[in-house]
Each structure stands twice: as structure tokens, then as C-alpha cells.
Amino acid sequence: MSYDLVVIGTGPGGYVCAIRAAQLGLRTAVVEKRATHGGTCLNVGCIPSKALLHASEAFEEANKHFADLGIDVGTPKLDLKKMMSFKAEGVAGNTKGVEFLLKKNKVDTFHGTGRIAGAGRVEVIAEDGGNQMLETKSIVIATGSDVARLPGVTIDEKVVVSSTGALELDRVPKKLLVIGAGVIGLELGSVWRRLGSEVTVVEYLDRVLPGMDGEVGKQFQRILTKQGIAFKLSTKVTGVEVGKKGGASVTVEPAAGGEAETLQADVVLVCIGRTPYTEGLGLDTVGVQRDDKGRIQTDSHYATNVTGIYAIGDVIAGPMLAHKAEDEGVAVAEMLAGQSGHVNYGVIPNVVYTFPEVASVGKTEEELTKDGIAYNAGKFPFTANGRAKANGTTDGFVKVLADAQTDRVLGVHIVGADAGNLIAEVAVAMEFGASSEDIARTCHAHPTLTEAVKEAALAVNKRAIHV
């Protein structure tokens, strides 16, 4: 079988790349080793985690906040099995959707492990051992990432779990110990805290969400602590021992060294990052270069060092985000079709889907200071936003960072209800090179949370109205 393009992996990077290529007239096939399409994101990542975040938030609302709204529903009872089926339905709806889209766009699909047999040749090895050879002009590797392991700690997905196991627990652990205060730790920690677990997060660094704006991290940690999550920062895990009757003993000590302490937990969630996944691809046979972190090296056109082989998504450098993978998929497809695809890495929003949400785009204050860029900061708290007050969701703030000379918006950081949606207007504004004045002079509907974005933009030039 002969193609213009074979994409290996049908996560957000791969399936979007294949659809765009087919739209542009390239004869395209995909190879996926999972039974369903959609990759990590749809099967065991973005979608199931958001379904559980949504359901557990509703449970917490009913449990703790409905009474304040004058709604008496008594004490809600958790049916975890039902909640897990709700999650599974969301996943199935999405993965089936991708299958439909691939078919609709006439992308041929092959199930099995894709191995690059040489430039222009992809071998598909099916689970039953059967194999097929696909001939193709170009290959896009979109094989994604896998859970990073903690040396000496075995993930059994029962007591010691990765995010995949934490999305499948069949009972609410009394004590959940989370290793890593990154996105997964705080999202899934929130899910199980809302459902009744005592959650302790152990983090090696002295802050949560490293990489995000420092002030945002501090305020967010304060909010989560108020909600009942305990943090042990600047602490390293030196051992995890699973007990004979279940549960685990986790030995921790200060990151800088010092006295060790043992913590007991029913379930331990290891979420210390993810690593690029290239197993079984045959990269060494064809000589595709990787960097010291195992990521496939590509140039600005997503081309590897081997002619005709490209790579996108989690398997290459950059933030491990579904929308980054998707945009790279579109860009490489357009380049292969002779167009000029492009991804603006300066404007990739990053959202943590807890309550409240955290959302960020562009540079943090720490990055601007490090790069020696003079900036003005405008901040607006949700306590001063009419809609947030009416809704009783006043935790958090919006911070706009703008170039001191040109007023161009360089970064925006939000902690607050619906921050993930609020960040979208700022991303569009930044993509168009907007100044804080542009955002400030744009009419924002009242009463909406978006007015906090406008007020933070006004605050850059010290003329916020409502504080």
C-alpha cells in the first residue's frame, strides 16, 4: 500500500495531522497500537480527568455549597461506580468521534505497532503477530509520552498508581499521597479530596506548579490548603514500600537532606512528569536522533535528521499539551502539502482544571525579570468583580504583564473560576500583538468574569475602575 503520509500514533497530534493532510489532498494513513484512537489525551488523560473533575466538583457543590444557595438536597451519597461510568461514556464519545472523523476524511487506519523499517517504509505489527508494510513519501511520528518513573518505585496501578490508575480507583482511598505538585498531582489530588480522601502532596521543589508564575503558585497553594490538601514542599521521596495487607509506607526527607519521616497511605500517586515514548519504533535502525531527554530532535519544520521522517507532540521538545500537539500536527501537514504551517510557541495557553482554575499564557514575571525585560503589571482580584461576588467565587486574580515601553501584552496569569475560558481572549489578543490598552478599551459584557481581565489591563496603567 502506498501513501503520501503515514502518521504513527493517533493522539491529538497524530489524528489532527492526518485529518489536515487528508483535507489538503494527501493520501494519508494512520497506525495506532491502542484499540481506540485519541491517544493519552482522550483515553487516559485530558478527557477522563476532566470528566472526574467535573463530576467531583458537582459532588462537592452538592455536599458543601448548595445549602448556601438555599438548596436543600440533604447529604449527597457517592456512587463511585456510576461516576466512573459517566467518565467512561465521555471517553467513548470522544474516541468514537475521532474514529468517525478519520473515516469521514478518508484516512486509512491500521491497528498495530508502527515500526519504521527505513525511510518511506512503515511496518505495522498487529497484536496477533501479523504484519503489513506501508510505503509512504513521508512519515510523521506522533507517539506521545509515557509516565516518568521514580527510581526504585514500582507502579502496580493498584496501591502505587500513575495517573492512569488514579483515574480508575474502585474505592475512595482514605489517605492518598501524591508525589509531585504539578498539574496531574493537583488535578487528581483535587478529585479524590472532593470525594473524601485525605490528600498529602509531596513536592521536591519549594513551590507548586513550577514553571507557572510564582505569585499564582503561592496563591493557588493557599487556596488548595484551605480546601484541605496538605503540602510537604522541599521534600523528597526516598522509598515506597507496599504493605502485605495493602497500603504503603512512604519515606520522605527534606530535599536538602535531614531527618527522614515515614508517611502512611492507602494509595500513592506518582506524577513527577512524563517522558517521550519511542519504544518499538525502530529509531536506532533508521538513525533518528534524540536529545539527552529522549525527545526526538526536529528542526523548525518538524523534520528529523532522516529525510522524510518528521515528529510532533509530546515526543518532541516543548510543553506536553494536547493543543500544542494538535497545532504542530496541522503545521507539519500544511508544510508537507507545500503550505507554510506555523506554531507560535509564545502564545500557548496552559490551564489547570481544578477549582478555581489556573490559566496562563506568555511570559511569567520570573521569566521577564530573568530576560531583563522591563514590564508593567496590572492586577485585579475577583473579590472586586461583580459576577464573582454574585456567584460566591471570589478566590483569585487576573494579572496582565505588559512591556514597559510598548505596552504590548507579554503574559497573562489567572487564578479563578473559569480561568481556562478567560485566557482565550488574551491568547487571541496576544496573537494579534495587542497592547494592554487594546484589551482595556475593548467593551466587555457586564456582569461577566471577563471584566476582571479588562480591569487588570486597565490596572497596567493604574486606571482600574473597581479597585
The nearest distance, CB 282 to ligand FAD, in angstroms, is: 9
- Cα separation, 441 vs 424, whole angstroms: 17
Residue selected from 18, 46, 186, 288 as contacting ligand FAD according to rule CB under 6 A = 46
> Is 166 among the residues that bind ligand NAI (CB under 6 A)?
no
Q: Find out whether 273 is annotated in a ligand binding site.
A: yes
- Cα separation, 270 vs 69, whole angstroms: 37
- Cα separation, 454 vs 464, whole angstroms: 9
- Cα separation, 207 vs 234, whole angstroms: 8
Q: Find out whether 205 is annotated in a ligand binding site.
A: no
One DSSP character per residue, 19-56 reads HHHHHTT--EEEEE-SSSSSHHHHHHSHHHHHHHHHHH
Q: Could you give the strand order of the β-sheet that contains 248-254, starting from the edge strand earlier in sequence? A: 235-242, 248-254, 261-265
**Closest C-alpha to 416, from 390, 443, 398:** 398
The nearest distance, CB 100 to ligand FAD, in angstroms, is: 17
Active site residues: 446
Contact 9, 140 (CB under 8 A): no
- The total of other beta-carbon atoms located within 10 Å of residue 431's CB is 12
> Is 8 among the residues that bind ligand FAD (CB under 6 A)?
yes
Q: Which stretch binds ligand NAI (CB under 6 A): 3-11, 180-188, 374-382, 438-446?
A: 180-188
Residue selected from 5, 7, 33, 368 as contacting ligand FAD according to rule CB under 6 A = 33
Tell me whether strands 131-141 and 2-8 are parallel, antiparallel or unpaired. parallel
> Is 281 among the residues that bind ligand FAD (CB under 6 A)?
yes
Residue selected from 11, 114, 182, 313 as contacting ligand NAI according to rule CB under 6 A = 182
Task: Choose the contact partner of 12 out of ligand FAD, ligand NAI, none; CB within 5 to 8 A by kind.
Answer: ligand FAD
For ligand FAD, give the closer residue by CB, 246 or 294: 294
* Contacting ligand FAD within 369-428 (CB under 6 A): none
- For 297, which DSSP code? P
> Is 205 among the residues that bind ligand NAI (CB under 6 A)?
yes
**Closest C-alpha to 34, from 132, 166, 142, 137:** 142
For ligand FAD, give the closer residue by CB, 181 or 320: 320
**Closest C-alpha to 236, from 218, 215, 259, 217:** 259
* Contacting ligand FAD within 129-188 (CB under 6 A): 142-145, 163, 184
Task: Choose the contact partner of 368 out of ligand FAD, ligand NAI, none; CB within 5 to 8 A by kind.
Answer: none
Contact 297, 304 (CB under 8 A): yes
Q: Which stretch binds ligand NAI (CB under 6 A): 57-65, 89-97, 315-323, 433-441?
A: 315-323
> Is 221 among the residues that bind ligand FAD (CB under 6 A)?
no
- Cα separation, 211 vs 231, whole angstroms: 18
> Residues in the site for ligand FAD, rule: CB under 6 A?
8-14, 31-34, 39-41, 45-46, 49, 113-114, 142-145, 163, 184, 277, 280-281, 313-314, 320-323, 325, 353
Please state the residue numbers annotated as binding site for NAD(+).
180-187, 203, 273
Please state the residue numbers annotated as binding site.
50, 114, 143-145, 180-187, 203, 273, 314, 320-323
